[in-house]
Amino acid sequence: MLTRLRFYLGVGLGVSLAVSLLFNYSQSLLNQNLSTSLSASLQSVESLTAKNHALANQVQGLVQARDAAQVAADVVQQEVAQLRHDAKVRVEGIRTVIQHEGCYTRPLPPAVTERMHYD
């Protein structure tokens, strides 16, 4: 009976060892596949990070260009407003001066009114 027990124990130990070796081999293959997959994923992440940085730099440049264009537009708008104000002041000054002249009641020729046009 003891011999049989040793035999079964030996067979069980052998089978257990064989199963353990097969499991370790399959785990080794799985680890190798996962390592390859991880390496590819890391390369993909690095590529996407580089693209992200490039896009961030491009957006920053566009924001700066937009801000510069807005400043230029504001300056032009202020200049236009100042020119319109100056034109209105001049027209009012001319009207005040010619109000007492004899030609004040006569209409101006079309060529003159076209040159004096303002909004």
Which tens digits make up the pLDDT trace of 15-51? 999 999 999 999 999 999 999 999 999 999 999 999 9
Read off the pTM: 0.53
Per-residue burial over 87-105, b if 16 or more Cβ lie within 10 Å, else e, is eeeeeeeeeeeeeeeeeee
Higher pLDDT, residue 100 or 24: 24
Total number of domains in the chain: 1
Mean per-residue pLDDT of the chain: 89
Q: Which residues contact 88 (CB under 8 A, 6 or more apart)?
A: 118
Token pair of 63 as six digits: 């924001």
Higher pLDDT, residue 104 or 34: 34
Domain containing 77: what range? 2-115
Query: What distance in Å separates the CA atoms of residue 24 and residue 32, rounded to the nearest whole number?
Result: 12
Confidence check: pLDDT of 118 > 60 = no
